[in-house]
Amino acid sequence: MRIVVLDGFTLNPSDNPWDDVASLGELTVHDKTAGPDIVSRSRNADIILTNKTPLSADTIAALPNLKFIGVLATGYNIVDIKAARERGIPVSNVPVYGTDSVAQFTFALILEMCHHVGHHNHAVHNGRWAAAGQFCFWDTPLIELAGKTIGIVGFGRIGQRVGEVARAFGMKVLAADTYRGNPPAYPFEWREIPDLFAESDVVTLHCPQTPDNGGMVNRELLAKMKPTAFFVNTARGGLVNERDLADAANSGVIAGAACDVVSAEPISPENPLLHAKNILVTPHIAWATLAARKRLMKTTAENIAAFIDGKPTNVVN
């Protein structure tokens, strides 16, 4: 089997070897692949592995040898799964690898908005604490999470783990999801999305992006939030109308936001989130701990082995 990785750098920048995958076939790894090069690099591939490099219907049609697509992530919106299904090509993702890492990072963002740790660290190093003449000082409100309400949109593995952490902080948990099976053991309450946005002190997204929910976080939905509330997105940038989110932060409709994902990555210098006040933007790293990337590599190899064995797993199409 000829295996081509189109954008392997994020999974293995040098600390997460491809050995398990390489043992399954003739492996070629490209750190990243520009759009015009996708077909030429993939023409002879039996198996393609991709993280964010798109595989459109036209691209899939141009690859007669292609037999299997492995997505190096949980989200698979970068693959035209309908076109792959029509060709009889299984598409497998990695559904469980970053649950703990993403939940941890979600709270890193929330806690930063509550305490502005980075800002106060810089203030101390710039001599402001010494100059203040006080035992302590702070520039921003310091917010306690106990007794606050967190609203979680997308209550799958990651969303439920975020809720578990929130409960440990003493927060009330609200959840919204189109699927309401397998609820967690801890107390929480279901809400429709508009009510969740209105009642929560923190709203955090953990749902996939689909053709039906692009830009769902817009001016109207943000207007339902409390002016003291925070918004967090570690899911997909396309879920948010970024101009509306920037306007909401700039005008005080919400207290602030934190986004680890944006609609076009890497971020454009013109993205309105970069120029809005009280918005943190991080470079899509919630998933990227070494522990999570090792799990992703292991499951990817297992997906390929299962396909070769005629019993593909984690198939999304």
Strand partners, 5: 29, 49
For 82-111, letters b (16+ CB in 10 Å) and e give ebbeeeebbbbbbbebbbbbbbbbbbbbbe
For 250-259, letters b (16+ CB in 10 Å) and e give eeebbbbbbb
CA gyration radius for the chain?
A: 21
Strand extents, DSSP E, 177-255 = 189-190, 202-205, 230-233
Q: Using the Cα atoms of residue 45, residue 50, residue 56 and residue 57 in order, give the sign of their dihedral.
A: positive
pLDDT for 41-80, tens place per residue? 999 999 999 999 999 999 999 999 999 999 999 889 899 9
pLDDT at 75: 85
pLDDT for 241-297, tens place per residue? 999 999 999 999 999 999 999 999 999 999 999 999 999 999 999 999 999 999 999
CA distance 165 to 103: 8
User: Under a CB-based contact definition with an 8 Å cutoff, are residues 10 and 54 in contact?
Assistant: no
pLDDT above 90 (res 89): yes
What is the arithmetic mean of pLDDT over 189-201?
Answer: 98
What is the arithmetic mean of pLDDT over 13-38?
Answer: 98
User: Catalytic positions, please?
Assistant: 236, 265, 284
pTM: 0.92
Q: Which of 201, 114, 113, 186 is nearest to 155 (CA)?
A: 186
Which domains, ranges and CATH numbers included, belong to the chain?
A: 2-97+290-308 (3.40.50.720), 99-281 (3.40.50.720)
pLDDT at 77: 87
pLDDT at 113: 98
pLDDT at 307: 98
pLDDT over 90, % of the chain: 97
Q: Which of 68, 86, 75 is nearest to 25 (CA)?
A: 68
pLDDT at 107: 98
What is the arithmetic mean of pLDDT over 224-244?
Answer: 98
Query: How is residue 126 written in tokens?
Result: 């710039």
Edge-to-edge strand ranges of the sheet holding 2-5: 26-29, 2-5, 47-50, 68-71, 91-92
Phi, psi (rounded to 5 degrees) for 27: -100, 130
What is the arithmetic mean of pLDDT over 161-188?
Answer: 97
Alpha-carbon torsion angle 282, 73, 208, 217, nearest 10: 20
Query: How is residue 192 written in tokens?
Result: 């429709």
**77 against 15, higher pLDDT:** 15
pLDDT over 70, % of the chain: 100
Per-chain mean pLDDT for the chain = 97
What is the arithmetic mean of pLDDT over 100-122?
Answer: 98
pLDDT at 153: 98
